[in-house]
Amino acid sequence: MDLLPEEFSRRMAAFMGDEFQSFAYSCSIGDRKNALRVTELKTTAKQFYEQAPFKMEPVQWVKNGFFYDYKDEVTTHPFFRAGLYYITEASAMTPADRLPIEPGERVLDLCAAPGGKAFALAGKLKGTGLLVANEVNASRAKALLYNLETLGASNILITNEQPHKMAGSFENFFDKILVDAPCSGEGMFRRNPEAAKQWSAEKVRTLAGLQKSILSSAVRMLKPGGLLMYSTCTFSPEENEQNASWLLNEHPEMEIMEIEPYEGFDHGRAEWADGDGRVVKAVRIWPHRMDGEGQFMALFQKNGMPETAAAKPPSMKTRKAKSKKEQTGTRDLTADEKKAFEKFAQHMTLDMRGKKIEVRRESVYLVPDEMPDFRSVRIIRRGLYLGELRKNRFEPSQSLAFALSAKTFDNICELKGDSGAAERYFRGETISDKSGEGSSKNGWILITYGGFSLGFGKKNGGLIKNKLLYSRRA
C-alpha cells in the first residue's frame, strides 16, 4: 500500500468503504498475471492454443485471450515476430472484445497507440471494411504503424491527427468507434509505479476535461445507429461514471447500452455520478475481484436509423475540382512498372478483389476501392504497403511478407524449430537453405516458421541473403 499516493488512497477509501483494504493491496503488491491476445487475422484461438510452444490458460471473459507464465519468453518466440499474438493486459482486452463489429463495417480506434485494441478490431473485420487507427502523438503513431504492420492488412488507415480535426472530415462516417481514452492510469499502478508517482487530483480533473472533448468528437463521427465504446484504465469517477453521465446529458442523441456480462464484472456506480441511474449499465473491472487490472467501459448508441448517415464525409464533396489522384498524390503503375510488379506477383496469391494498386512517389500500395481520400488529415499509412519500385524491378516490403504465408507464396524456406536459424535471421544474418525445408528456387523467398511469415530473403545457390525489413513512413 506504500506505493499508492496518499491522496489517491484517501479518495478511494471514501468511495469503496469496507472493500478498500483488499483493493489497495491488489493495486500495490497483489498478484498479477501476464496475458496475450491471439491475432484472429492470422489464426484462431483454438489453433494457436494447440500450436503454442508454452503453457497457457484462457482468459475466461475474452474469447481469444490467454494467460501465460511470466517465465516463458513469449516476446522472443518467432510466433510473436510473425504477429500471431499481441502482449496486452487481460482487462485491457475487454473493451475491444465487447464492441460488436461485423465484417464490412467502418471502424475507428480514435486513441489507438500502441495498437493492441486495433489488432482486435482488425480481427473482427476479417480483412473487410475499413479500420481507421488514429494516434495524436507523432512518436506513438510511428509505434502504432510498426505494430499494425505485422497484420499485413490492406483495409487499415493509420492517421496522426487531433480528434476534433478528424471529426471535420469523418462526420457521420463510422459504424463503430472505440475511445480508449488517455487517463490517469490508476488501474495500472502496480504495473507502472511511475504512473503512481505522477498521479494528482489535478491531473484527474485535467484528463476528465480532455476526455469530454474526445468524446464529443467521437459522437460527431458516429453514424446514427452506430455504437461507441468508451473505456479507461482508471478508477476515478470523474473520468468514468461522471463522463458517461455528461455524455448522455450533453448529447441527448446518445443512449447507454448493456454490455455482455461476466460474473466478475461490477456495474457503474450511480452514486458517483450525482445519482444518474443510467450509468449502472457501464462496467467496472476491479483488480481485487478478477485476474486483471482496473478497467471501465461504457457502450453508447447514437439514435437514428443507420441509413440516414451520409455515405461519405461532407469534406469529400468539396474537392470536385481535383481528381482523387490529384488529391492524394497517387498515380497508376506505368507499363514498365506493372511488368516489374507482375514478375514478382506471379509467385504469390493475394486477394485483390475490391482493391486497387496505387503508387505514391516510388512506393506501391494496395488499398480498398472505397478507401477515403483526405488531404486535411495527417496520414501515416494508407492501405497495405507492398514495396518499392526500383530500376526495372520491384522490391517487396515487410508488410507484404506479413500478408503472405507458406500457403500463398510459391518459394518458401520453412525454418526448423531446433536449428537456431530463426534467431540468426532476426539478427540480420545470412542463413543456409539447409536451415529449413521448402522450395529450392533462387530469387525472392518467404521465410516462414510454423507456416507463418517472418519476412523475405533472397536465395542464390545454397545461401539466403537476409531481407528482413523494418517499418517506413508512407
Instruction: List, by residue number, the catalytic residues.
Output: 233
Distance (Å, rounded) from C-alpha 355 to C-alpha 371?
A: 9
Distance (Å, rounded) from C-alpha 232 to C-alpha 238?
A: 11
Cα 94 to the chain's mean position, in Å? 13
C-alpha triplet 333, 334, 339: angle, nearest 5°: 85
Distance (Å, rounded) from C-alpha 359 to C-alpha 402?
A: 20
Using the CB atoms, write b or e for 279-309: b if 16+ within 10 Å: bebbbbbbbbbbbbbbbbbbbbbbeeeeeeb
Amino acid making up residue 99: L
| DSSP secondary structure, 307-325, as one string | GGS-SS-GGGGGGTTS-HH
Residues 294/187, Cβ–Cβ less than 8 Å: yes
Residues 137/115, Cβ–Cβ less than 8 Å: no
Residues 372/159, Cβ–Cβ less than 8 Å: no
| DSSP secondary structure, 172-191, as one string | T-EEEEEEE-----GGGTTT
Distance (Å, rounded) from C-alpha 70 to C-alpha 389?
A: 44
Sort residue 17 into left (φ over 0), alpha (ψ -120 to 50) or beta: left
Distance (Å, rounded) from C-alpha 89 to C-alpha 311?
A: 37
- Grid coordinates representing 348? 504469390
Angstrom CA distances, 382 to 160, 372, 386, 396, stand at: 12, 9, 11, 17
Sort residue 438 into left (φ over 0), alpha (ψ -120 to 50) or beta: left
